Chain A
Amino acid sequence: MQGPDSFVFPNELHVTWTVMIVLYPYITGMVAGAFIVSSFYHVFGMEKLKPIARFALVSSLAFLCFATVPLLNHLGRPDRAFNIMVTPNFNSAMSGFGFVYLFYMIVVVLEIWFSYREDFIEKYRNSKGLAKTIYRILILGDVNINENTKKYDRKVVTFLAAFGIPVACILHGYVGFLFGSIKANLWWSTPLMFIIFIFSAIVSGLAVLIFLYQFVHWLRRKQVNQESYELMSKWLWGFMIIAVILELMEVLSISYERTERWGVLEQLINGKLKISYVYLQIFVFSIGPFLILSVTSIAKNLNIKLKNTLIWIASGMLLIQVLLMRWNVVIGGQLVSKSMRGFTEYFPGYFDKEGLLVSIGIVIVPFLLLMLFDRLFPFFEKKGAS
């Protein structure tokens, strides 16, 4: 396990934070990103984004419902998970997690409830039997709807959407802070981590919305709303540029400072992370989508079908880019020995409790939940169909 010139502390042969901790920021990133996209419409009045605003919001909830699953699977004592809210140690960056998470959940659920109230009431009136009972519970038995209540609902939604932006940023920036504030870890410890996580969250949120939006419309043999689709792709282009530049600037500044730290991290980047970081994250999945989105954003006479396919591919690639970024941060940082003399190894295993199979399951389940949500409160307007 150790070469003659490499040394890791004996306890470091075990990597403590597994692929589960890679998935948590990945999923919350999509939560925060998708929410911010929905707020673009509600708060900043981008009418073009109206067709996806609700979809973005409901997606956010679907991912949010499963964000804690990898964490619970990772905890040594999941039965004590609520200790984090019962006996929090406020000196710890992690202690606020439960409160921030719960608070954000309340904001999202309230916003969805207010923006769907009108639809729920209509469905309640048109349904029978069990469905009627479900909708009755959903609307809390209140069927009162008129111009005044609609106005009020819209006001509340706008307020919640505006209020939710900082909360979403905190939810995810906070995850970045958890890593960035660990002084013992050479690869994590940077104040930039917080900002990088927020931007990569927006990238993954936009990417997952574009990806699903197009995918669902292909399945249903319908046309996407071209205006909002293209607008989203341009936002994605912009945000991915900022996110990738920040990621690179961080490494550049560490490199330029030429402290002892760089001596170790240089070996990490050129060694254990060469494939997953340099080749895949940077070259293939950052520069690739950047080039594709540059073409689709700038070129005027592109065939619409081709254009949409290209945007879809780029969004899929960026979803992988963000996942790779989470892996390279979370796992990469733990590969560096605190002895500064070597690197440890990690492979999650295929069928382990925290292995690859479980990971794939955890990533897929939110999408299934989203399908179920679509039955309950359809997020794509039917009249947009061709």
Chain B
Amino acid sequence: MEKIERRQFLKLGLYSTAGLLVGSVFAFTKTDKEIFYQTNEDLLKFDWGFIVDTTRCIGCGACVRACKIENNVPDTYFRTWVERYEIDKNENVRVDSPNGSLGGFKDDNFDETQIVKAFFVPKLCNHCYDSACTQVCPVGATYESPDGVVLIDKERCVGCGYCVQACPYGCRYIDHEKGVADKCTLCYHRIHRGEAPACVDACPRNARIFGNLKDPNSKIRRILHERRYGLLKPELGTNPKCYYIGLDMEVK
């Protein structure tokens, strides 16, 4: 009796392991087959835009951590970060972003009883329509993809840092290990296969919304039609397409 039970147990175990393996092979390879944007014409159907809902962000820093893991962002550099704004009874403003809020926020800057208003503002590359970084790149390594994402050709970049100077939002940095410029790509490798950028997926509050601005029925267009929003430094004429809902005048 005992022997049969053991045999049965082993059989069962073997079958279920095999089943799990086969199942997971299907599950994990499935997405790879769904690359549906291949030609230039396909890409032209898209214009990727981004919404940051500052009224929803809770400053947990999950987006920053997700971005760092997804894109191998070097320490002390950031493709995205979260800023915290605290305003006290006397209208003093304090802003911070400790280590880009990689570990979230711990203590308040003011005495808690003095704070009258506080909010978080996630930041990332604005993928501007008229981006200053694309304009100044001397070798044409920074360019706008047909689907409206500002990207860097790392095979061509010389690492002069002119784009870092030109970006009004502080979104670029020189990756000293590779000697080239780097910044947010809207997780181009992910959106290319129909997934959302890592930060969007990681956000527990849906404070980050990503979508196709060329699609009149997209969620991003619907929200932009319903809500009031602002842009960062619109006076510089870069025409950013990262839209900030509930943008406060203190945010620059």
- Residue ranges of A at the interface with B (Cβ–Cβ < 8 Å): 2, 4-5, 7-14, 16-17, 74-78, 80-81, 83-84, 87-89, 91-95, 97, 178, 182-185, 334, 337-341
Q: Are A92 and B136 in contact (CB under 8 A)?
A: yes
Separation in Å of the B35 CB from the closest CB of chain A?
28
Proximity bits, B173-186, A CB within 8 Å = 1, else 0: 11110111100000
Query: Quick one: given A183-B236, A338-B168, are A93 and B97 in contact (CB under 8 Å)?
Result: no
Query: Quick one: given A87-B140, A88-B138, A183-B168, are A76 and B158 in contact (CB under 8 Å)?
Result: yes
Pick the contact of A94: B92, B96, B136, B159 (CB < 8 A): B136
Pick the contact of A92: B96, B100, B137 (CB < 8 A): B137
- Residue ranges of B at the interface with A (Cβ–Cβ < 8 Å): 76-78, 81, 83, 92, 94-97, 99-100, 109, 123, 132, 134-141, 156-162, 164-176, 178-181, 236-237, 252
Cα–Cα, bound, A95→B134 (Å): 12
Q: Are A87 and B100 in contact (CB under 8 A)?
A: no
Q: Are A88 and B139 in contact (CB under 8 A)?
A: yes
Q: Are A92 and B138 in contact (CB under 8 A)?
A: yes
Cβ–Cβ < 8 Å partners of B136 in chain A: 91-94, 182
Separation in Å of the A288 CB from the closest CB of chain B?
32
Cα–Cα, bound, A94→B164 (Å): 14
Query: Quick one: given A9-B170, A76-B178, A88-B139, are A184 and B81 in contact (CB under 8 Å)?
Result: no
Separation in Å of the A176 CB from the closest CB of chain B?
14
Cα–Cα, bound, A21→B144 (Å): 28
Closest B residue to A21 using CB positions: B161
Separation in Å of the A206 CB from the closest CB of chain B?
30
5 pairs across A/B with beta carbons < 8 Å? A4-B94, A11-B172, A76-B161, A77-B159, A338-B170
Q: Are B138 and A94 in contact (CB under 8 A)?
A: yes
Q: Are B165 and A341 in contact (CB under 8 A)?
A: no
Q: Are B252 and A341 in contact (CB under 8 A)?
A: yes
Cβ–Cβ < 8 Å partners of B157 in chain A: 76-77, 80
Q: Is the interface of A mostly helix, strand, loop or mixed?
A: loop
Separation in Å of the A282 CB from the closest CB of chain B?
25
State the total of A-B contacts with C-beta under 8 angstroms.
Answer: 135
Q: Are B158 and A81 in contact (CB under 8 A)?
A: yes
Q: Are B76 and A13 in contact (CB under 8 A)?
A: yes
Q: Are A11 and B156 in contact (CB under 8 A)?
A: no
Pick the contact of B158: A75, A178, A334, A339 (CB < 8 A): A75
Separation in Å of the B231 CB from the closest CB of chain A?
15
Separation in Å of the B155 CB from the closest CB of chain A?
9
Cβ–Cβ < 8 Å partners of A75 in chain B: 158-160, 179
Cβ–Cβ < 8 Å partners of B139 in chain A: 80, 83-84, 87-89, 95
Q: Are A11 and B78 in contact (CB under 8 A)?
A: yes
Q: Are A92 and B161 in contact (CB under 8 A)?
A: no
Q: Which of A77, A93, A185 has the most CB of B within 10 A?
A: A77
Cβ–Cβ < 8 Å partners of B160 in chain A: 74-76, 94
Q: Are B96 and A2 in contact (CB under 8 A)?
A: yes
Q: Are B158 and A83 in contact (CB under 8 A)?
A: yes
Cβ–Cβ < 8 Å partners of A14 in chain B: 76-77, 173-174
Q: Are B138 and A16 in contact (CB under 8 A)?
A: no
Closest A residue to B142 using CB positions: A89
Query: Quick one: given A76-B178, A88-B139, A95-B139, are A83 and B165 in contact (CB under 8 Å)?
Result: no
Q: Are A182 and B166 in contact (CB under 8 A)?
A: yes
Cβ–Cβ < 8 Å partners of B109 in chain A: 4
Q: Are A10 and B97 in contact (CB under 8 A)?
A: yes
